[in-house]
């Protein structure tokens, strides 16, 4: 049996109710997310239900693309995201393993690929 231990969370940002600063879908703290490092990210709704899990070689640009891109699997659900958790994981193979593990263990709602349960 293989045991997978989650890495420590590096950053968690929350959606602001009435943001006074520049924002993307209510998120004003993107500057806290590393621009140069890779890792995994998790989107949660306001009931702390896991909506989506993703991985990236460069975290901040990839996360922002989910809120700006027209082909993102999250394009119709962006308003649901209330919290973004970020985990820095430099190794590409480890990112792949963590992403698949989290999608299946916690049953991410909007991940349609890599789903092993039905």
| Residues whose CB falls within 8 Å of the CB of residue 91, separated by 6 or more in sequence, listed in order | none
Percent of the chain with pLDDT over 70: 98
Mean pLDDT of 34-48: 97
pLDDT of residue 101: 93
pLDDT band with cut points at 50, 70 and 90 for residue 89: very high
Query: How far from each other are the two terminal CA atoms of the chain, in whole angstroms?
Result: 22
User: Is the pLDDT assigned to residue 118 strictly greater than 70?
Assistant: no
- The β-bridge partners of 41 are 54, 86
pLDDT of residue 92: 97
Mean pLDDT of 85-89: 98
Grouping H, G, I as helix, E, B as strand and the rest as coil, residue 41 is strand
User: Is the pLDDT assigned to residue 22 strictly greater than 90?
Assistant: no
pLDDT of residue 54: 97
Let me know: does 39 contact 98? Beta carbons within 8 Å: no
The pTM assigned to this predicted structure is 0.93
Mean pLDDT of 76-89: 97
**Mean pLDDT rounded to a whole number for the chain:** 93
pLDDT band with cut points at 50, 70 and 90 for residue 20: confident
């Amino acid at each position: 049996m293989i045991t997978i231990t989650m890495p420590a969370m590096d950053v968690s940002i929350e959606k602001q109710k009435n943001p006074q600063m520049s924002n993307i879908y209510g998120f004003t703290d993107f500057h806290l997310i590393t621009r140069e490092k890779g890792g995994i990210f998790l989107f949660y709704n306001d009931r702390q239900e896991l909506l989506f899990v993703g991985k990236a070689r460069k975290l901040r640009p990839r996360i922002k693309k989910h809120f700006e891109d027209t082909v993102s699997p999250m394009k119709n659900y962006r308003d649901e995201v209330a919290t973004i958790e970020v985990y820095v994981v430099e190794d590409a193979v480890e990112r792949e393993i963590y992403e698949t593990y989290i999608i299946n263990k916690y049953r991410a709602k909007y991940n349609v690929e890599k789903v092993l349960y039905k």
